[in-house]
């Protein structure tokens, strides 16, 4: 059996949760073989393999759980490579009371204020659209896969974007690599589409100017940004530059956020996607990414901060409840698309002061 794991500091201590999970399993011990337990503040998830045909298991287990007072228990049958008898049982411990997310609302309002202060209304509206599509891509896909996720937390900051981005907290175990992949990839893909629209619209309203020496901020180029500027501004001279419209700046920022989130390490979107695709190789890929960031810091020192973030979040990735559930060819191709987006959005030196 895999080690017991509790998530997010449950109200009951770990031993109490384990005892309750084992009491639940004792109701079903003759019907299946338990191989993992995970618990949070509001649910226990048991994973195992049926010893009897699945329809017989479901009828008998549902009856026993109802008789024991677990009316909200949910039984799921998950066919895998190894066995058609794999099962998940999710048992809610308490209903989460509906509450107004005041902290999320307050952080969002503060982020809007800092973004307006930094970039004005046009930049703020488009960049917020990118971030909102990104975060709600995660949030909605988490709901689809029965993953308990918080509302997005936006982080205001007095930097060139007015924010450090946003994140959601996961408050329940992830069933399998399919759920992990769908939740992780939905955010970057949704944000990327809006970023492309913002970039094209913004570049169409941008102007070409003669480059001037002196102090200022220069933005880094990605392969995609170079292609779009070549397409929309053919024949630019070496001494010319593009003065970005605020909407184009929002699109550029969207590419930057997408690229950073797709770094294949730890709890970043790229780390989730890498684990879903290559569960055995993900830790090595994350370690190679950290090394690459350390080397890249010779050209742009801020990469050291991202290497530190990767170490803080841990290069490896925790397993899902059932890693053996196959992704399928479609999701593998979508994962390849996500890493292609990372490559064409990558900026070796995102910005420079000169």
pLDDT digits (tens, 9 = 90+) for 156-175: 999 889 999 999 988 777 88
Q: Is the pLDDT of residue 101 over 70?
A: yes
Q: What is the pTM of this model?
A: 0.80
pLDDT of res. 116: 95
More confident site: 352 or 122? 122
- Same domain? For 71 and 162 the reply is no
Question: Is 97 among the domain residues?
Answer: no
- Same domain? For 313 and 176 the reply is yes
Which pLDDT band holds residue 289 (cuts at 50, 70, 90)?
very high
pLDDT of res. 82: 59
pLDDT of res. 96: 57
How many H helices and E strands in the chain? 10, 11
pLDDT of res. 84: 61
- Same domain? For 87 and 106 the reply is no
Highest averaged pLDDT of the listed ranges 26-30, 43-47, 88-92, 342-346 = 342-346
Residue pair 141/134 in contact (Cβ under 8 Å)? The answer is no
- Average pLDDT taken over every residue of the chain: 85
What are the tens digits of pLDDT across the range 177-232?
Answer: 999 999 999 999 999 999 999 999 999 999 888 876 555 678 889 999 999 999 99
Domain that residue 136 falls in: 102-353
The rounded distance, in Å, linking the Cα atoms of 195 and 291 is 29
| Residue where one domain finishes, among candidates 74, 92, 110 | 92
Phi, psi of 39 (to 5 degrees): -145, 150
Output the domain CATH number for residue 42: 3.30.980.40
| Residue where one domain finishes, among candidates 38, 57, 92 | 92
pLDDT of res. 319: 84
């Amino acid at each position: 059996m895999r080690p017991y794991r509790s998530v997010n500091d449950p109200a009951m201590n770990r031993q109490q949760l384990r005892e309750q999970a084992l009491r639940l399993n004792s109701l079903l011990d003759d019907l299946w073989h338990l191989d993992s337990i995970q618990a949070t503040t509001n649910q226990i998830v048991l994973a195992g393999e049926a010893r009897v045909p699945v329809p017989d298991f479901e009828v008998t287990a549902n009856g026993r759980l109802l008789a024991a007072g677990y009316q909200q228990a949910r039984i799921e049958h998950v066919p895998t490579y190894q066995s058609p008898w794999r099962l998940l049982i999710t048992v809610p411990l308490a209903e989460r009371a509906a509450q107004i997310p005041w902290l999320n609302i307050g952080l969002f309002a503060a982020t809007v204020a800092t973004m307006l202060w930094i970039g004005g209304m046009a930049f703020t509206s488009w960049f917020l659209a990118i971030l909102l599509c990104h975060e709600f891509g995660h949030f909605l896909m988490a709901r689809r896969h029965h993953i308990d996720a918080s509302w997005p937390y936006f982080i205001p900051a007095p930097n060139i974007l007015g924010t450090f981005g946003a994140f959601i907290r996961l408050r329940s175990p992830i069933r399998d690599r399919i759920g992990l992949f769908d939740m992780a990839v939905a955010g970057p893909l949704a944000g990327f589409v809006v970023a492309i629209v913002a970039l094209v619209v913004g570049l169409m309203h941008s102007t070409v100017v003669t480059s001037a020496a002196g102090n200022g901020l220069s933005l880094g180029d990605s392969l995609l940004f170079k292609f779009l500027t070549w397409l929309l501004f053919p024949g630019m001279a070496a001494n010319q530059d593009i003065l970005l419209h605020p909407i184009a700046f929002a699109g550029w920022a969207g590419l930057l956020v997408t690229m950073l989130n797709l770094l294949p390490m730890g709890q970043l979107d790229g780390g989730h996607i890498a684990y879903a695709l290559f569960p055995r190789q993900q830790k090595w890929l994350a370690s190679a990414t950290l090394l690459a960031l350390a080397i890249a810091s010779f050209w742009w020192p801020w990469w050291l901060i991202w290497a530190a973030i990767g170490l803080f979040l841990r290069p490896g990735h925790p397993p899902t409840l059932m890693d053996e559930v196959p992704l399928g060819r479609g999701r593998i191709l979508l994962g390849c698309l996500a890493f292609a987006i990372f490559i064409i959005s990558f900026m070796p030196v995102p910005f420079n002061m000169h």
